Amino acid sequence: MPKKVVKAAANTYYFQYPALATIVTVRSAEKDNAISIAWHMTVSREPPYYAISVAPSRYSHRMLLESGEFVVNFVPFEKHELVAGIGGCSGSNTDKVALFGLRGEQGSEVGALVLDDAYAAYECRVVGRHTYGDHDVFIAEIVAFHYDPDLFTSAGIVDVGKLKPNVFLGEDRYTRPASEEPVLVSRGAAARAARERKA
Amino acid sequence: MPKKVVKAAANTYYFQYPALATIVTVRSAEKDNAISIAWHMTVSREPPYYAISVAPSRYSHRMLLESGEFVVNFVPFEKHELVAGIGGCSGSNTDKVALFGLRGEQGSEVGALVLDDAYAAYECRVVGRHTYGDHDVFIAEIVAFHYDPDLFTSAGIVDVGKLKPNVFLGEDRYTRPASEEPVLVSRGAAARAARERKA
């Protein structure tokens, strides 16, 4: 077991990282904005649903409520300063698209930007919102998938030899996956091997 | 923009990875079980809430409903075969604790196991459940945090020089973070730098 246990809520806690630091784009009333999000996850395979958690205090929260749409942009490690910068100012008083020179096109199904900086992006339409603590969980259907096929294997897995996703470690720290070839372990084979060892 | 866009739901899709592959433990009616989960995220800072997505077809789903508790165990890369094996069989016909020789202790606040293999673990008590597509999102309060202080920096960030978390790339592929020192980019400084470049 890990050595230490704390029961007091640790206001900020980073033990659950690494996770990808993404750029979520929103568009409302013909205004574009972008936020940095590491609190996201897959929810459902079929139909495909995705979740992000956003604080109501964020300017983009209102835009999400108004538009009901967003795009999750997955960006490479090289963009970690952009991700940090987007997280360091607010759309309430900053045109982030102009400040950071963001380029992209509106999605095919939603109005938010699919960024040129992204190697993959999910166009999302909100289907539910649930308030928990200091954040709202937005659940959305992925209505279009964008990806660069040159950077993924034929099975659709990111090719870490060609592309290093932007991996967030908490606070203001970023890294990338190792360059080594990923290991391949079939879950069925791993379960069978355990049974054979046990027999 | 990424080169390719598909609108048909891609039954399985991996563009959102890497994400940590964790072992979630559950206990109900004095029976322990474990499942592999890469669909998890932080929801709220204060109070601390965490989310996992679990298919109703999974045996552990019923145990989650019965107990309303679980533990998210964060394990090192070295345990990827264990994670795969746990994902390759079902608690409906397998005693996974015995099969995989899982060792640990019940949590301080919940009945599920905190595993010896974990470098950090979150004891969780379910506060909400929401069905979306083929999965249920369980939202839980983190009622106790376990971690090994030797493996984290004083700021609570995983020390990738000492510890490599188990990074899942999709399908049956695993890797780890690079060994290099993470970059440190203050979000405030990054936003100021963009303003200065723009000015």
Residues in A closer than 8 angstroms to B139, CB to CB, are 130, 132, 137
Residues in B closer than 8 angstroms to A85, CB to CB, are 187, 190-191, 193-194
Residues in B closer than 8 angstroms to A120, CB to CB, are 2, 15-16
User: Beta strand B173-175 with B183-184: parallel, antiparallel or unpaired?
Assistant: unpaired
Q: Which two tokens stand for residue B120?
A: 């950090």
| CA within 13 Å, CB half, B174 | 25
| pLDDT, mean over chain A | 95
> Does residue B149 belong to any structural domain of this protein?
yes
Residues in B closer than 8 angstroms to A50, CB to CB, are 16
Q: Which residues contact A95 (CB under 8 A, 6 or more apart)?
A: none
> Does residue B12 belong to any structural domain of this protein?
no
pLDDT of B95 above 60: yes
* Longest CA span, chain B: 66
Task: Give the helix, strand, coil percentages of chain B, each rounded to 5.
Answer: 20, 40, 40
Hey, are the CB atoms on A193 and B99 less than 8 Å from each other?
no
> Does residue A144 belong to any structural domain of this protein?
yes
User: Which segment of B16-20, B76-80, B154-158 scores lowest on mean pLDDT?
Assistant: B154-158
Q: Are B37 and B22 in contact (CB under 8 A)?
A: yes
> Does residue B13 belong to any structural domain of this protein?
no
Residue B119 CB: number of other CB atoms within 10 A? 26
A-proximal residues of B, 64-123, CB under 8 Å: 72, 74, 80-82, 84-89, 94, 98-100, 104-105, 108-109, 114-116, 118-122
How high is the ipTM of this complex?
A: 0.96
Hey, are the CB atoms on A178 and B183 less than 8 Å from each other?
no
| pLDDT, mean over chain B | 95
Chain-centre distance of CA A82, in angstroms? Answer: 14
Hey, are the CB atoms on A191 and B88 less than 8 Å from each other?
yes
For residue B40, the domain's CATH number is 2.30.110.10
pLDDT tens digit sequence for A168-199: 999 999 999 999 999 999 999 999 999 999 88
Which pLDDT does position B10 carry in this prediction?
60
Which pLDDT does position B183 carry in this prediction?
96
User: Beta strand B120-132 with B69-74: parallel, antiparallel or unpaired?
Assistant: antiparallel
> Does residue B107 belong to any structural domain of this protein?
yes
> Does residue A163 belong to any structural domain of this protein?
yes
Q: Is A126 on the interface with B (CB under 8 A)?
A: no
pLDDT of B62 above 70: yes
> Domain containing A161: what range?
19-198
Sequential DSSP letters for chain A: --SEEE-S--SS--TT--EE-EEEEEEETTEEEEEEE--EEEEETTTTEEEEEE-TTSHHHHHHHHH-EEEEEE-BGGGHHHHHHHHTS-TTT--HHHHTT--EEE-SSSSSEEETT-SEEEEEEEEEEEEETTEEEEEEEEEEEEE-GGGB-TTS-B-TTT--B-EEEETTEEE-B-SSPPEE--HHHHHHHHHHHH-
Distance from C-alpha of A186 to C-alpha of A76, rounded to nearest angstrom: 27
Which pLDDT does position B182 carry in this prediction?
96
Q: Name which of A39, A134, A171 is nearest B155 (Cβ-Cβ).
A: A171
pLDDT tens digit sequence for A131-170: 999 999 999 999 999 999 999 998 899 999 999 999 999 9
pLDDT tens digit sequence for B12-29: 799 999 999 999 999 999
What burial letters (b/e) apply to A116-143, b meaning 16+ CB within 10 Å? ebbbbbbbbbbebebebbbbbbbbbbbb
Residues in A closer than 8 angstroms to B88, CB to CB, are 186-192
Residues in A closer than 8 angstroms to B115, CB to CB, are 1
Which pLDDT does position B198 carry in this prediction?
87
Q: Is A157 on the interface with B (CB under 8 A)?
A: yes
Distance from C-alpha of A118 to C-alpha of A124, rounded to nearest angstrom: 15
Which pLDDT does position B148 carry in this prediction?
93
Hey, are the CB atoms on B1 and A114 less than 8 Å from each other?
yes
Number of compact structural domains in chain B: 1
Burial of A147 (0-12, 13-18, 19+ CB in 10 A): buried
pLDDT of B55 above 90: yes
> Does residue B14 belong to any structural domain of this protein?
no
> Does residue A168 belong to any structural domain of this protein?
yes
Q: What one-character DSSP code corresponds to residue B182?
A: P
Distance from C-alpha of B122 to C-alpha of A13, rounded to nearest angstrom: 11
Quote the percentage of chain A above a pLDDT of 70. Answer: 98
Hey, are the CB atoms on B148 and A176 less than 8 Å from each other?
no
Query: Nearest CA of chain B to the CA of A67: how many Å?
Result: 20
Distance from C-alpha of A100 to C-alpha of A36, rounded to nearest angstrom: 13
Preceding omega of B18 cis (within 30 degrees of 0):
yes
pTM of the model: 0.97
